[in-house]
Structures are given as C-alpha cells and as structure tokens.
Amino acid sequence: MLGLEGRTAAVVGAASGIGRAIAIAFAENGAFVACADLDRAGVAETASMIEAVGGRAEASVVDVRRSADVDTMLDKVAAEHGRLDVAVGTPGINIRKPLVEYTDAEFEAVTDVNLRGGFHVLRGAGRIMSAQGHGSIIVISSISSRVVEPGQVIYAGTKAALAQMVRVLAAELGPCGVRVNAIAPGPVETALTEPIRASKAWAGAYAEKVALGRWARPAEIAGPAVFLASDAATYVTGEVLFADGGWVDLDAQFADEAAVGTD
C-alpha cells in the first residue's frame, strides 16, 4: 500500500532539507519525481542523487513566489507524463524577531515564501488534479501552527494559515477525488534551523521539549509524506499530521519520576 510505482510526483523545494528527503523517498518507492527549487545547483544534485541509485527524476528551477513558475512546471509535468499524482510544497523561511520590530520588507519576505508559495502549490496542483479526478497534495506546516514561541509571530502565522488552507481546500476538492494534507514537523536538522543548532544550549532546550529527546532528521519527515502520497492514505484528507517527536501533545509532560504511578 505504501508503494508509489507508476506515480508521477512533483516536489517544490527539493534542493535540500525536507524537500530533498521527500523527493528521494518518493523515488525509492517507485515514483518519477520532478524536483523543483530556486537553487539550481541543489535541485540538480537531488535529481542526480536519485538517478545514481536507479531512480527516475528531473530538475527544474522554480521560484515558488511566482505563480507562473509553479503553474508552468506543474502543467509541464502533467502534460509530459499524462498525470500528476502527487504534489508537495516545502519551501519556508523564518526571520526571528518580535513583531513590533518587524519591517514591512521582512514581513513580505516570510509571507511571500511560506504563505504565497504554499498557495501557489495548492492552487496549481489543485487545478490539475481536480480536472483529472485524483491526486494528493502535501504542504509543510509546523508545530509553530500550534505552539507559542516569542519571535515566531510571522512564521507561526504563515504555518497556521497553511494548516487551515489545507483543511478548507480538502473540503473543496474532496468531491473531485483529490486529497489535501499537511505535515507539521517539530525541530528538524535543516539549513533553516542552523542558527538554533549552532547554540548548544538552544539546541538542547529544543531537544528536551521532544518526548524522544532529540531533533529529527529530514528523512524522518519523508516517511509521513510517503504515507500521505500512497494508497495507505486514501481515506486521509484535511489533516495536519504532526511529526514532532511528541512535542505538541506532550507539551505539559511532568518528568518527576517520584510522582509516576501515584494517586
């Protein structure tokens, strides 16, 4: 049920991190993967990594902020392969600072990638898939859509908005046979989190919030994406799948061993 043989998938944001891990995982499970990113060298490297182990992939340069870029790439994939079974949008940026210190340019930079970019993937894939009568769309939200952390106002707002967009679009496209879901990772070892991981204390504080006691590897977010793309999830839509090591649901855990098992 988890196999993706014969599927055509597009991964926007495939040059590194979670996007690269998802592209590789899709290929490992049998899909042809159209890898897209603004980073020309990075996305070409991802496609080469897939092809080096016998997978099938192609690379293209796409600016997720530009609707024409996203639409052209998705339309091309669907036209050349006769279908678009899966579309994934992963790009995201963050500028950590209090809201009252944000400039207009900084607000626009974060929302243009996270929110506008996510919208472009959702809309572009939704148009193709609703017409063909099937498909799975996946975008990357975050635990920040639920948890509160100072300095994350704009980033958290975009990720919460994506989560709600997924729910509403799932209702709109459900009658067309199209599923729409999001993955909400916790702390993941990517380029986006390098400033945090550079501080031993800061990185440790994040790890301590996770029930598993550690940061995730990008490949650990790819597993949920394979599930949502596959026939194992044919009755799953409108969901935000938290792949956070237990952070959100166990946020109030109490670690006093003396209290465990007492009345």
Q: Which residues are catalytic?
A: 155
Give the long-range contacts of residues 91-94, CB within 8 A, separation 24 or more: 91/12, 91/13, 91/19, 91/37, 91/38, 91/64, 91/117, 92/13, 92/140, 92/142, 92/155, 92/158, 92/159, 92/192, 93/192, 94/152, 94/155, 94/192
d(CA 64, CA 110): 12
d(CA 31, CA 109): 33
Structure tokens at 206: 């994040």
Residue 87: in which H helix or E strand, if any? strand 86-89
CA 5 to chain centre: 21
Q: What is the 3-state secondary structure (H, E, C) of 123-147?
A: HHHHHHHHHHCCEEEEEECCHHHCC
Sign of CA dihedral 5, 67, 17, 51: positive
